[in-house]
Amino acid sequence: MKKPLHFILSGGGTGGHIYPAVSIADEIKRRFPDAEILFVGAQDRMEMQKVPEAGYKIEGLWISGIQRQLTMKNLMFPFKMMSSLWKSIQIINKFKPDVAIGTGGFASGPLLQVAHWRNIPTLIQEQNSFPGITNKWLGKKANVICTAYDQLDRFFPAEKIRITGNPVRNDLLKVSAKRAEAFDFFRLEKDRKVILVLGGSLGARRINQLLEEFVNDLVLEGAQIIWQTGKLYYETYKKFGEKEFVQIHEYLNNMNFAYAAADIIISRAGAGTVSELCIVGKPVVFIPSPNVAEDHQTKNALAIANKDAAIVVHEKNIKTEFREQFFPLLKNEKRQEELSVNIKKLARPNATKEIVDEIEKLLKKGNKG
């Protein structure tokens, strides 16, 4: 009897690394129902909760990133790395994976390094237009690098790159058919434009402050607003929900309906969000967070804006740029349609399937070897 295939995945620290890994695991399970799948994460990060919630086993490593300034955490880094390499050796020796897959985050570094030492085929998936430290380092050793943006041969060997896009949820493909249902769900007025404001699950302080300043003007211009404040800011801004045509949500559990209802979306520019918004195909104003590694949100947003597929408002000039760019867009149906058409051209709805196609190719090569 043939033994089931073993797949090991590592990606974490943020949802942007975790959810692509879970999407890949789900597609692997769909193709290989008997496969055994194990995740490896950083022991004190959100993957230790989110991965089991998605139905997969996970092992934790004692690992964290390097801080920009000299701290006790930096002094501990060599010890954490040695500990994580040793535990990765133990995990790989016991689990015996056929393929190792990394989606970024600190834990994927030692795990995929050990897989490389053991001659196990490795694939990394880079979500951003500017790779993080871990994936830059792993790219020299990985067999295949799946990316969401072109021109990443500045960082990775060109012959290893496959432009697949980022994994997103399949249910986003049918968003446009849910508009009437979404209007009922949110109790929206049919004769007003719907502005959807997103700042991530925790929230975005500067976006919330911006809305606080302009919310009355937007309503006067004939808009209605679905405003997701995030967990950190809900208590501060929930009072705005008393205004007519303004809805305040700590978190949006039904993103399908939120996307379906929206006419224009204001959002951060994390890689996963950008990929979702390309599939959704609505006009987008990106306000990238400047407080992330390598300023990758700005690079993600500009990669879309440079194809005339979105508008970018920078935090350093947020009020001026928003006033100059958003209000003309709100009144210009033709421009909204142009942005919608252009961003949809950048969508890669089959990303997860294409990534798992590459994993299957690695399996076949491994079997021949």
pLDDT tens for 246-273 read 999 998 888 899 999 999 999 999 888 9
pLDDT of amino acid 369? 45
By the 8 A CB rule, do 343 and 310 touch? Answer: yes
Q: Is the pLDDT of residue 15 over 80?
A: no
Lowest mean pLDDT among 131-140, 289-298, 335-344: 289-298
User: What are the beta bridge partners of residue 40?
Assistant: 10, 59
Arithmetic mean of pLDDT, 176-183: 93
By the 8 A CB rule, do 282 and 337 touch? Answer: no
How far apart CA 329 and CA 196 sit, in angstroms, is 14
Arithmetic mean of pLDDT, 284-299: 88
Q: Is the pLDDT of residue 298 over 80?
A: yes
Q: Is the pLDDT of residue 87 over 80?
A: yes
Q: Is the pLDDT of residue 301 over 90?
A: yes
Of 306, 311, 265, 313, residue with least CA distance to 289: 313
pLDDT of amino acid 64? 64
What tokens were used for 65? Answer: 């990133």
Arithmetic mean of pLDDT, 205-227: 95
How far apart CA 13 and CA 42 sit, in angstroms, is 7
Q: What is the pLDDT of residues 93-143, one digit of tens each?
A: 999 999 999 998 888 888 999 999 999 999 999 998 888 888 898 998 999
Arithmetic mean of pLDDT, 345-353: 93
